[in-house]
Amino acid sequence: MNKAGFLLSAASGALLLASAAAAQTPAPPSPAPPAPPAPEQPIVPDSQFEKALPPLDPDLTKPLEPLPAAPVPAPGKAGSPPAPPVTPAGNFPPVTEPVDPGLSEPLTPLDRFELATPAPDAKDAKEAPAPTIRYSLAVEGLKAIGLEGRFRSLSALEDGDGKATNAAMVSARTKEDELLAVRLLRSEGYYDATVSSSIAQVPNEPARLAVTLTTLPGHRYDFGQIRIQGPDTVPTGIAREALKLKSGDPIVAADVEAAEANVRLRLPQQGYPFADIGQRDVLLDPDTHLGDYTLPLDPGPRSTFAGFTTDGKLAFDAHHVGVLARFKRGELYDSRKVDDLREAMVATGLFRTVAARPERTGETAPDGTEYVNIRVHQVAGPARTLAGTAGYNTGQGFRAEATWEHRNLFPPEGALRVTGILGTQEQSLVVQFQRNNAGQRDRTLLLQAEAGRQNYAAYHGYVARLYGLVSRTSTPIWQKKWTYAYGGELVASNEDEKRFPPISLKTAHFIAGLIGQIGYDTSNSLLDPTKGFRLGLRSNPEVSLREPTKPYIRNIVDGSVYYPATDSLTVAGRVRVGSIFGANLADLPPSRRIYGGGGGSVRGFGYQQLGPKDAKGVPTGGRSQVEFSLEARYRFGNYGIVPFIDAGQVYKTQYPKLSGLRYGAGIGGRFYTNFGPLRADVAVPIGRKKGESRFAVYVSLGQAF
C-alpha cells in the first residue's frame, strides 16, 4: 500500500474511533458548557491515535509472483504453429503481407465507364408540377402626377408578365416595386411620399392574386436658393450660367444631373480644364416645401495652351501632332479643340487607341493664366490593309476590285496603295501614293499612275495616265463646308468608237490638262443629307499635245438642295449643267466628251447611253449636258422608300438646251445604318426607244446625291 492509501486508512480509523467514543460517553446532567481545552494540548493524544490505527496487511510488503510461462509446443508437432524466427540481435524480422495482384493492374480508362442516368422514381414522376400563380397589378396615385407609365416600364411585377412560381415571389416583387415607387417619387421632388401595398386572393380563384400599390405623393418640393460655393471664374458667373436651375422650379433629379453635367462641360471649354465639382447639398424645409441647393465648386487655374508631347507606340512624331492640332501656344484652353485633335488622329486610321489629356506645367503665361501641356498617348495599330469589293450593275456589268494598302509606309501618313480592277467594261492597274494632312490639316497630296483597258458603249481603247492632285475634301467623318482640289494630268490613249484599236504611239492621243474644283456644302450629312444645300464647280483646261494643238476647257456645275418637309419626309432636288468650250466634237477623243445615263446621272438609262448616237446606236457623246432629279425620301425606322424622277439630255452643241429631254422614273429602298444608308434603286426609261434597257438597277452606299 502506498503512502497516500495509508494516510486515508488512518484518517478513516480515527473518525470511527471518535464516533465510538461519542456513543459510549453519557450525556452530562446539566447544560453547563465544559471548559475549553488548553490551546497547547491536542484533542486526541498521539499514543491514543496510533493505538487506534488498524494493523497493516503483511502481504502488502511481499514481492509479486512471476507470470506463468506460456507452453511451447514441441518442434514438428502437427497443428502447432512454427516458432517465430529471431535475429541474432534478438529482434523479430518484418512481416511480409501478401500483395493483392489487382493493385498492380492499370486503371480502367474513363471513356470505358458506362454512365447512365438513373431512372426517375415512379412516385416523383407521377407528381404534378406546382400550379403557376397569376396576379394582376393596380397602381393608385401615380397617374395623377404623370408617373404611372414610367413606373410600369420599370416595375418588377410588370416585368414578370403577371406570372410567378409562388406567393413568396409575388411578395418579393411587390416590395421591390414599393422601393421603386419611392425612388421615382423622390426623383421628381416628392420627398414626403409614402407607398404601401396589399396582396389579396381573388375570390373563387385560389391561384390568382390581386396586388394593389397605393402611393401618397404629398407636397412637391421646389428650388429655393441656388448657390455655387467656391472661387469665382473669369469672366464671372460661367458656372452659374451653365447651371440651368431656377428658383421655383420643381427639384427633379434628372434636371439637377443635367445641369451639373453642363457645368462640367462648359468650364473646360472656357479655360478651366481642372475644374472639380463637389457633392451637392439640398436642404429641405418641410414647412415651405422649398429646397436650398448648394454646389461646391473649385474651378482650378484658368489656363492657356502651351504645347503638346506624345508617348506610347508612335505612328508619327510630335511635329505631325502639331499639324493636326487646331490650337496654338497662348490660346485660351478649350476642351473642344483637344477633342478635335483626338478625333483627327483617330480619323487617320493608324491607331488602336489615342488619348489626349491636359497636364499642369506651373508656368505662368503673360496674361496671368497658367500654361497647360497636352499629352497625347498613341498606340499604333496595323497599317496594312487588304480589301476587296465585287458587284454587278445592269448598266456596267460585273466589276471586282482588290486593293493592298500600307497607310504609313512613308511617315507621317504616307500611304502606298495598289488596286487591281477586273470588270466587264474595265480592266486596269492603279498605283497611288497619298499623303494625308500634308503639311497642313485636311490637305491631301495624291500622285497616281494607272494603265488599263476600257470597253464602254461609247468607245473601246487603252489608256495610261499620270495624275497629281492637292485637295481638301469631305469625308463621312470630317464633312467640310468649303472644299477644293487642284492639280494636273497627262493622258495617253488609243481609242476607237467601234472596235479595239491597236496599241500605237503614232495614233495615240496625248493630252495635258489642269484640274480645278471648288465646293460649298451646308448640308447636315455627307451620305444622308436632310437639310441644306450644296454647290460645286469643276473646270478642266486641256490641250492636245499632237497637231493641231487646240486648247479647250471642260466645265461642270452641280447644285443640290434638301428640304425637310416633315420629320420623316425629305424632298431633295439636283441640277447639273456641263459644257466644253473651244473644240469641235470631232477634235475631242471619245474619253474626253460628255456622256449621260447611269446611277449618278439619269437613272433608267445605262451608263453613257443617254445622248446622241450614230446610225448603229453607238453613243457619240457631246459637248454639253443638262440634268434634273427630284426625290421624296420617306423614312420609317431603319428603312426608307424613295420615289424619284430624273430628266436630262446630252447635246452636241457647245451650250446646253432644254429641248429633247429624256425622263427616267423609279422607286428605291433604303436601309439606314449608323454609317449611312444602303441604296437600291430600280428605274425605267420613260418613252423607251429601241435598244434601250427596259429597266436598270443601282446599288450603292449613300443617297444618289
Residue of 3 and 607 predicted with greater confidence = 607
Helix, strand, or coil here: 171? helix
Which candidate, 447, 489, 452, places its Cα nearest to that of 592?
489
Residue 700 region by backbone torsions, left for phi larger than 0, else alpha for psi between -120 and 50, else beta:
beta
- Cα–Cα distances in angstroms (integers) from residue 123 to residues 120, 127, 129, in the given order: 8, 7, 13
pLDDT cut 70: percent of the chain above it: 82
Show the cell assigned to 209. Answer: 392574386
Phi, psi angle pair for 330, to nearest 5°: 95, -10
Q: pLDDT tier at 66 (50, 70, 90 boundaries)? A: low
pLDDT band at 69 (very low <50, low <70, confident <90, very high): low
C-beta of residue 659 within 8 angstroms of C-beta of residue 615: no
How confident is the model at residue 499, as a pLDDT? Answer: 86
Q: Which pLDDT score is estimated for 692? A: 84
Candidate CATH numbers 3.10.20.310, 3.40.50.620, 3.40.50.300, 3.30.450.40; the one for domain 133-216:
3.10.20.310
Q: What percent of the chain has a predicted confidence (pLDDT) above 90? A: 65
More confident residue, 163 or 476: 163
Instruction: Domain 517-701: give its CATH code.
Output: 2.40.160.50
The closest alpha carbon to 394, from 154, 682, 101, belongs to: 682
Cis status of the peptide bond prior to 42, with omega within 30 of 0: no
Give the C-alpha distances (Å, rounded to integers) separating 584 from 175, 489, 690: 88, 22, 28
Other C-beta atoms closer than 10 Å to the C-beta of 607 total 23
Mean pLDDT of 256-264: 96
Model confidence at 372, pLDDT cuts 50, 70, 90, reads very high
Which triple of cell numbers denotes residue 580? 466644253
Confidence band (pLDDT; 50, 70, 90) for 41? low
Confidence of residue 17 (pLDDT cuts 50, 70, 90): very low
R_g of the chain, CA atoms, integer Å: 51
Residue 20's pLDDT band, with cuts at 50, 70 and 90, is very low
Nearest to 132 by CA among 164, 100, 92: 164
With cut-offs at 50, 70 and 90, classify the pLDDT of residue 13.
very low
Average pLDDT (660-688) is 92
Go through 246-277 and write b for each residue having 16 or more CB atoms within 10 A of its CB, e for each that does not. eeeeebeeebbeebbebbeebbbbbbbbbbeb
Asked if residue 328 lies in contact with residue 367, where contact means CB atoms within 8 angstroms, the answer is no
513 in Cβ contact with 491 (< 8 Å): yes
Distance of CA 640 to the CA centre of its chain: 26
Question: Is pLDDT at 21 greater than 50 in this prediction?
Answer: no
Name which of 587, 586, 607 is nearest 458 in CA terms. 607
Residue that has been written with the C-alpha cell 453613243 in this structure: 619
DSSP class per residue in 296-319: EEE----EEEEEEEEEEE-SS-HH
What would the mean pLDDT of 664-674 be, rounded to a whole number? Answer: 94
CATH topology of domain 303-380: Ubiquitin-like (UB roll) (3.10.20)
Q: Report the C-alpha gap between 489 and 613 in whole angstroms.
A: 29
Which carries the bigger pLDDT value, residue 121 or residue 377?
A: 377
* Dihedral sign (CA 595, 599, 600, 602): positive
Q: What is the pLDDT of residues 628-655, one digit of tens each?
A: 999 999 999 999 999 999 999 999 999 9
Q: Are 643 and 704 in contact (CB under 8 A)?
A: no
Cβ contact 321:412 at 8 Å: no
Under the banding of pLDDT at 50, 70 and 90, the label for residue 61 is low
pLDDT of residue 698: 87
The span from the CA of 685 to the CA of 663, in Å, is 6
Task: Give the pLDDT band of residue 443 (cuts 50, 70, 90).
Answer: very high
170 vs 4, higher pLDDT: 170
- Is residue 362 scored above 50 in pLDDT? yes
Report pLDDT for 606.
86
Do the Cβ atoms of 551 and 584 come closer than 8 Å? no
pLDDT at 626: 96
The pLDDT of residue 71 is 54
pLDDT at 220 over 80: yes
C-alpha cell at position 599: 446611277
What pLDDT score does 1 carry? Answer: 45
> Is the pLDDT at 324 greater than 80, yes or no?
yes
Evaluate if residue 12 carries a pLDDT over 50: no
Q: What does the pLDDT read at residue 586?
A: 87
In angstroms, rounded to a whole number, what is the distance separating the alpha carbons of residues 513 and 538?
A: 13
User: What's the pLDDT score for residue 22?
Assistant: 37
How confident is the model over 572-594, as a mean pLDDT?
93
Instruction: Dump pLDDT digits (tens) for 133-161.
Output: 899 999 999 999 999 999 999 999 999 99
Q: What's the farthest any 2 CA atoms get from each other in the chain?
A: 178
Query: Which CATH architecture does the domain made up of 222-298 adopt?
Result: Roll (3.10)
Domain residues of the chain, as ranges? 133-216, 222-298, 303-380, 517-701
Q: Per mean pLDDT, which range of 68-72, 393-397, 510-514, 592-596 is the poorest?
A: 68-72
20-to-6, 11, 17, 41 alpha-carbon distances in Å:
21, 15, 5, 22
User: Which residues does 109 contact at the CB level (< 8 Å), separation at least 6?
Assistant: none
More confident residue, 549 or 637: 637
> With contact defined as beta carbons under 8 Å apart, do 577 and 656 qualify?
yes
Same fold, 303-380 and 517-701: no
pLDDT tens-digit series, residues 507-544: 899 999 999 999 999 999 998 999 999 999 999 999 99
pLDDT range class, residue 274, cuts 50, 70, 90: very high
The grid coordinates of residue 515 equal 484640274
Q: What is the mean pLDDT of the chain?
A: 86
pLDDT digits (tens, 9 = 90+) for 88-122: 555 545 555 555 565 666 766 655 555 555 565 55
